[in-house]
């Protein structure tokens, strides 16, 4: 079998728990009849949409497919109340008879799960006062205060400064698992007993262990399993019915594969991340990965963030102050990497511009190893979600364009199309034209 991706060196993952602390609340709402309305992220189904200002996006994604960066993709660009671009591309695999990608194709979201699921549940709990940023993790996870982790807080998990290492070998945990433990329970006990890999709040290490632990804190504090909570309080009200940890048969049939295994079969509708896969989805949800979703659903999530926690009908799902706080720098001064409460904070071109350097005007987002991305620009009130299965058929990549290159091209195209940045791009274009006219060798 081909090796599934491991997080060491890139980081991603989520939580396990101790027995009997949360209910197995996994029931999903039934899908309602689709109401197809062009140009709104609030509808039950989304039609393909194009706008002339974003026309170059087709060439960017189609080149990615031609270069075999990924076999298929979905790209949605929008603003609150308006879809600017919504297109599926390619096929589920590179096979000639492969099914085409559709707007309602589901993707393994990988680490986008961290912000779309685990962090968003934490934001709601923070707004309700159920948890606090300065709560010690040991208040929720027994023995977590051992090994130099006694002062680690909920905020430290959200910002990746907890002292936990980036990843763990599932085989190490399995060898130590007790007979009365599930893998999910064994993982959290193992994390609680680990020695800190660095002094908390003195460094930044992107860690899957942080978000598996945070997912368990969420579940213990709320008294229920994360998926059920999200569908009642966030995903359900937003119409995100295709954002799930446990897939229905219909959803499995619409899911993009991530690997072709050595026996020729496909890894599809199963979690790609090794630790999240080992954790499983039952009584507890892994918080670093494991969410499956669609482009339209991620558009609904991004729109909620730009609307400061409100659904399109005006219902306040998450405290607006927490949403604003989540998009501000929350890392200690001694740490150079800037993070919000779960968010990556982009500051350099082409992800962001000089107009995105102050609170309230930031560009925030998150990537996933499988080829997923959500990107939100507060200044122009624009978002995009680019979902691909770039790990198919395995994690190797030929020479040439990469998923990082495709993402950068999409980000630049979306920024360029916004009138708020017309002056910046006019200046950049003029400088490039002047440089091109300089005599060779000058």
Between the alpha carbon of residue 74 and those of residues 283, 373, 400, the distances in Å are 31, 11, 21
CA distance 4 to 14: 17
Whether residue 340 lies inside any domain: the answer is: yes
pLDDT at 11 over 50: no
Domain that holds residue 138: 52-435
pLDDT of residue 398: 65
Whether residue 24 lies inside any domain: the answer is: no
pLDDT at 13 over 70: no
Q: What is the pLDDT of residues 148-202, one digit of tens each?
A: 999 999 999 999 999 999 999 999 999 999 999 999 999 999 999 999 999 999 9
- Start-end of H helices in 75-164: 112-113, 120-128, 154-159
Whether residue 126 lies inside any domain: the answer is: yes
Whether residue 66 lies inside any domain: the answer is: yes
pLDDT at 308 over 50: yes
pLDDT at 16 over 80: no
Whether residue 43 lies inside any domain: the answer is: no
How many domains are contained in the chain?
Answer: 1
- In this prediction, residue 14 has a pLDDT band, given cuts at 50, 70 and 90, of very low
CB of 87 within 8 A of CB of 48?
A: yes
pLDDT of residue 44: 62
Q: Which of 34-38, 413-417, 430-434, 437-441 is the most confident on average?
A: 413-417
Whether residue 390 lies inside any domain: the answer is: yes
Whether residue 29 lies inside any domain: the answer is: no
- In this prediction, residue 435 has a pLDDT band, given cuts at 50, 70 and 90, of confident
CATH of the domain at 321: 3.40.710.10
pLDDT of residue 41: 62
Q: Which residues of 281-294 are buried (b: 16+ CB within 10 A; e: fewer)?
A: bebbbbbbbbbbbb
pLDDT of residue 20: 29
pLDDT of residue 39: 47
pLDDT of residue 395: 82
pLDDT of residue 237: 97
What is the pTM assigned to this prediction?
0.90
Q: What is the pLDDT of residues 349-402, one digit of tens each?
A: 999 999 999 999 999 999 999 999 999 999 999 999 999 999 999 988 767 789
- In this prediction, residue 437 has a pLDDT band, given cuts at 50, 70 and 90, of confident
**For residues 288-315, average pLDDT:** 97
Whether residue 371 lies inside any domain: the answer is: yes
CA distance 393 to 389: 9
CA distance 85 to 57: 9
pLDDT of residue 42: 54
CB of 277 within 8 A of CB of 172?
A: no
Query: To the nearest whole number, what is the mean pLDDT of the chain?
Result: 90
**For residues 25-53, average pLDDT:** 55
- In this prediction, residue 440 has a pLDDT band, given cuts at 50, 70 and 90, of low
């Amino acid at each position: 079998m081909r090796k599934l991706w491991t997080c060491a060196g890139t980081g991603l993952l989520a939580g396990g728990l101790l027995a009997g602390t949360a209910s197995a609340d996994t029931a999903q709402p039934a899908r309602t009849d689709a109401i197809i309305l062009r140009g709104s992220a609030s509808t039950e189904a989304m039609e393909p949409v194009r706008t002339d200002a974003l026309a170059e996006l087709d060439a960017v994604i189609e080149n990615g497919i031609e270069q075999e960066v990924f076999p298929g993709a979905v790209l949605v660009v929008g603003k609150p109340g308006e879809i600017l671009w919504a297109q599926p591309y390619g096929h589920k695999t590179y096979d000639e008879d492969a099914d085409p990608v559709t707007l309602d194709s589901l993707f393994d979201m990988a680490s986008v799960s961290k912000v779309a699921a685990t962090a968003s549940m934490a934001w709601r709990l923070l707004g309700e006062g159920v948890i606090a940023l300065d709560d010690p993790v040991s208040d929720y996870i027994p023995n977590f205060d051992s090994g130099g982790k006694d002062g680690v807080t909920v905020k430290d998990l959200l910002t990746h400064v907890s002292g936990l290492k980036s990843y763990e070998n599932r085989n190490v945990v399995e060898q130590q698992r007790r007979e009365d433990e599930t893998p999910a329970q064994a993982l959290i006990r193992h994390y609680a007993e680990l020695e800190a890999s660095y002094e908390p709040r003195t460094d930044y290490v992107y860690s899957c262990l942080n978000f598996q632990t945070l997912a368990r804190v969420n579940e213990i504090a709320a008294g229920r399993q994360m998926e059920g909570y999200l569908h009642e309080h966030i995903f359900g009200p937003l119409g995100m019915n295709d954002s799930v940890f446990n897939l229905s048969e219909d959803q499995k049939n619409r899911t993009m594969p991530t690997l072709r295994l050595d026996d020729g079969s496909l890894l599809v509708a199963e979690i790609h991340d090794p630790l999240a896969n080992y954790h499983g989805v039952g009584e507890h949800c892994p918080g670093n990965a494991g969410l499956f979703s669609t482009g339209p659903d991620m558009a609904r999530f991004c729109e909620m963030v730009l609307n400061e926690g409100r659904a399109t009908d005006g219902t306040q799902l998450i405290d607006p102050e927490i949403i604003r706080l989540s998009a501000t720098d929350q890392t200690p001064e001694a740490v150079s990497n800037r993070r919000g409460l779960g968010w990556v904070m982009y500051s350099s071109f082409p992800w962001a511009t000089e107009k995105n350097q102050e609170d309230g005007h930031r560009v925030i987002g998150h990537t996933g190893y499988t080829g997923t991305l959500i990107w939100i620009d507060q200044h122009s009130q624009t978002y995009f979600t680019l979902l691909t299965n770039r790990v198919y058929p395995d994690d190797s990549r030929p020479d040439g364009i990469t998923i990082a290159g495709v993402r950068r091209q999409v980000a630049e195209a979306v920024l360029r199309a916004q009138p708020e940045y017309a002056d910046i791009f006019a200046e950049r274009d003029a400088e490039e034209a002047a440089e091109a006219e300089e005599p060779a060798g000058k």
